[in-house]
Chain A
Amino acid sequence: MPTVYPKGSPTELLGLLVLLEGHKGSEDVALLADDLDLEIDEIFPSLEFAEVLQLVKVTDGRATFTELGRKLVAASIRERKTILREQLRKTALFRTILRALENSPNHRLSDEELGHIVSFTTARADEAEQNIVNWGRYADLFRYDADEHVLVAVRRPSPPRSGGRTPPPSAPAAVAPSAMVAERKSTGADPPASLLPPRARA
């Protein structure tokens, strides 16, 4: 199966799920589109990606909520973000990008490096890269620095918010991101990083 890249925007995907909710969670795809006076191909990208994220199942031209899709619609704006983050992490493309971010020096990826990853998918490069940045930002999986044209890893576990308590350095739960990277590197279990051209050429 080809690697699927994000289609549409997070708000569009939500719109589709809200629409489906209005039809009690299951509806013929053509009728869903008709609800907003859209052609079927106008909702298809979001529908396809909703299926990739396991929020909707499409069988015989009928879209139906999965349990998770139903949960997402009922969730708060913040909870929706968390659900989408977890689902994006499960896709091959985002897994690859996140590993590449972990493994790259400074935990950054240039546009060119991202383009290289995207070139292994069937996506049209410009659209795919824009959507990847948009979804990754929305789901708080990485940042994007538009001045330097680089993806920047989000440090997890995130530091405490308001300068209050900092976890003791010896606490086993508080593994620094750099330590996680080092550990992964030492196991050598990260083939996706090899998708990247050597830094010297980048």
Chain B
Amino acid sequence: MALIRVDHVDKSFPTRHGSIAIMQEITFDVRDADFLAIVGPSGCGKSSLLRLIQGLDRPTRGTIYFRDRPVEGVARGMAMVFQNFALFPWLTINQNVAFGLEALGWPPEKIGAQVERYISVTGLEGFEEAYPREISGGMRQRVGLARALAVEPEVLLMDEPFSALDPLTAEGLREEVLQLWRDPQLPPEAVLLVTHNIEEAIQLADRVVVLSRRPGHVLAEVVIDLPRPRDRKSPAFYELTDRVYSLITEGGTVASQGTASNGEGGRPG
């Protein structure tokens, strides 16, 4: 069953000189236990798409479904991890993680244990009373992750979550995100990752939705069936990377849309 279904979604913004199309005819599913990545050049509407999915904004045309119900208003069951961490500098790590639960109206007596659990699973024990400014980027993004996971989302939305980190830190954190996603004891069911980094998408995801330049449309859905951990230097990995690069660089026009998505065979079901 599809957890999320993005169904023929258009988004455009009105300007004084007429409306500007950000994305057109976007259609894809996020399924149970999926790790889905969306890649595309900057300005293709990747982040706007996440906002639409979470219900922070509405499509101009088309519908987004979450568990078969149209998303209207901010959807429960999803939580977001941001590129710039989006932590409150005046709150401690504990308080930052508790924030989402408080906003959802959790009873105060239950918040403590929940925060402790997600502090622990993200490796943040020892930093509970620290402030964001005291900790490294890698630790800050763990806080972003703990805060999102603490509300036990069915789908974790990640908007360029590793882009602000140095390469080694990003590599370490990617592995831990995979570990959390694979743990059946823990949320989320599925991860939807938005990234401009093609290698990162192929390293992490089961499927990669490739978007074109603006107005963004789906060029292809590429299935990544390499065993994990994935070797970036393997020929199979290189071939996939190359294919996605070619799609993005050559597929900037609407004309290539149909053939490319057929050619990738991204829908086994």
A residues lining the B interface (CB < 8 Å): 8-19, 21-23, 35-38, 42-43, 46, 76-78, 80-81, 133-134, 136-140, 143-146, 162
Residues of A within 8 A of B230 (CB): 22
Report Cα–Cα, A26/B176, bound state, in Å. 21
Which residue on B lies nearest to A38, using beta carbons?
Answer: B167
Given contacts A9-B169, A19-B171, A78-B120, whether A143 and B126 have CB atoms under 8 Å apart is: yes
Contact of A15 (CB < 8 Å), options: B172, B180, B229, B233: B172
> Across the two chains, which residue of chain B brings its CB closest to A14?
B172
Assess whether B96 is interfacial by the CB under 8 Å rule: no
Q: Which residues of B contact A81 (CB under 8 A)?
A: 123, 125
Q: List residues of chain A with CB within 8 A of the CB of B172.
A: 10-18
Q: Which of B130, B166, B180, B231 contacts A22 (CB 8 A)?
A: B231
The distance in angstroms between the C-alpha atoms of A42 and B170, with both chains bound, is 14
Q: Are B126 and A11 in contact (CB under 8 A)?
A: no
Say yes or no: A16-B168 contact (C-beta < 8 A), given A9-B138, A9-B139, A140-B126.
Answer: yes
Cβ-defined contact, B127 with A15, below 8 A: no
Additional A-B contacts beyond A15-B168, A162-B113 (15; CB < 8 A): A9-B138, A11-B142, A12-B169, A13-B168, A16-B171, A18-B171, A18-B229, A21-B229, A35-B233, A77-B121, A77-B123, A134-B136, A137-B126, A138-B123, A139-B126
A134 to B122, CA, bound (A): 15
Q: Chain B: interface secondary structure?
A: helix
List the 5 closest pairs (A to B, CB-CB), nearest first: A11-B138, A15-B172, A14-B172, A15-B171, A15-B168
B245 at the interface (CB under 8 A from A): no
Question: What is the CA–CA distance of A140 and B166 in the complex, to the nearest angstrom?
Answer: 24
- Interface of chain B residues 26 through 53 with chain A (CB within 8 A): none
B interface vs A, CB < 8 Å? Answer: 113, 120-123, 125-127, 129-131, 134-136, 138-139, 142, 166-176, 179-180, 229-233
